[in-house]
Amino acid sequence: MGAGHGHKLHYHGHSVVHRAPAHLKILVLLGFTVLVVATPGEWYAAFGAYLLVIAVVVGVSRVPATYLLKRSLIEVPFLAFALLLPFVAHGPRTDVLGLSVSESGLLAAWALLAKGTLGVLASLTLAATTEPHELLHGLERLRLPSQLVQIMAFMVRYLDVVTGEMQRMKVARESRGFSARDPRQWPVLARSAGALFIRSYERGERVHLAMLSRGYTGRMPRIEGRP
């Protein structure tokens, strides 16, 4: 197994946005998201302004727009839901492209679309300009309970390891002629997922042993004085 290189969300850079303290960025993201969600759907100009703000921040950070757009595909399932709304909502109806749709549903779909996209873009910008461990430090500085920060830290650390393991299992399956095109083959996938779970669980136990061996007593030591 080769070493993973970089988290898939982070885009290396040295801009002002990259260098800003992580806890500040988290607070700004939180504030921005709350503001966007609280804005009534009819204030179309406001959403344009929000998008402009994100565009400016992304421009300053020098993260390529395509880099963010590709990753914002994660939003697609929500979009599908948004597209359904005009057809299922009640109330007065109007005609769009020859289809009769609900007016309130249309507005709700627009609001969901606009707010969702803005939220996703803003979060991706944060992720692209902040290293995961800086993010954790930021959360710690914001006084998030240390247990939660620890759990997230382990997640960040072992995400690559577990995905690597999953990838190797997939390669090993496919090397033996397996392909999961057919629902009849899903039991195999389920068993793989089970094996992966057991392996991750056992790794968790080994990590715990290694921590105990270095004197872990249940609390992360506070390590200050990072230069």
Partner 1 sequence: MNAPVLDVRGLAYAYPDGHQALFGVDLHVHRGERVALLGPNGAGKTTLVLHLNGILSADSGGHGAGAVSVSGLPVEKANLAEIRRRVGVVFQDPDDQLFMGTVRADVAFGPANLGIRGAELDRRVMHALDQVGMAEFVDRPPHHLSFGQRRRVAVATVLAMEPEILVLDEPSSNLDPASRRELADILRSLDVTLLMVTHDLPYALELCPRSVVLSGGAVVADGSTYDVLADEPLMRAHRLELPFGFDPRNVTPRP
Would you tell me which residues interact with partner 1 (CB under 8 A)? Answer: 1-6, 132-133, 136, 153-154, 156-158, 160-161, 203, 206-207, 209-217, 221-227
CB–CB of 102/86 below 8 Å? Answer: yes
**Complex with partner 1: residue 127 or 136, whichever CB lies closer:** 136
Least distance (Å) between residue 123 CB and partner 1: 20
Least distance (Å) between residue 145 CB and partner 1: 18
CB–CB of 68/121 below 8 Å? Answer: yes
**Complex with partner 1: residue 5 or 90, whichever CB lies closer:** 5
Least distance (Å) between residue 28 CB and partner 1: 22
List beta partners, residue 115. Answer: none
Least distance (Å) between residue 1 CB and partner 1: 7
d(CA 151, CA 22): 18
Residues near 107 by beta carbon (within 8 Å), at least 6 away in sequence: 41, 42
Q: Which pair of structure tokens corresponds to residue 159?
A: 């995400």
Least distance (Å) between residue 200 CB and partner 1: 11
- Secondary structure string (H, E, C) spanning 64-91: CHHHHHHHHHHHHHHHHHHHHHHHHCCC
- Find the Cα–Cα–Cα–Cα dihedral 15, 18, 24, 25, rounded to 10°: 110
**Complex with partner 1: residue 163 or 185, whichever CB lies closer:** 163
Count CA within 13 A, CB hemisphere, residue 72: 19
**Complex with partner 1: residue 116 or 132, whichever CB lies closer:** 132
Least distance (Å) between residue 71 CB and partner 1: 20
**Complex with partner 1: residue 36 or 140, whichever CB lies closer:** 140
**Complex with partner 1: residue 128 or 153, whichever CB lies closer:** 153
- Find the Cα–Cα–Cα–Cα dihedral 211, 214, 220, 221, rounded to 10°: -170
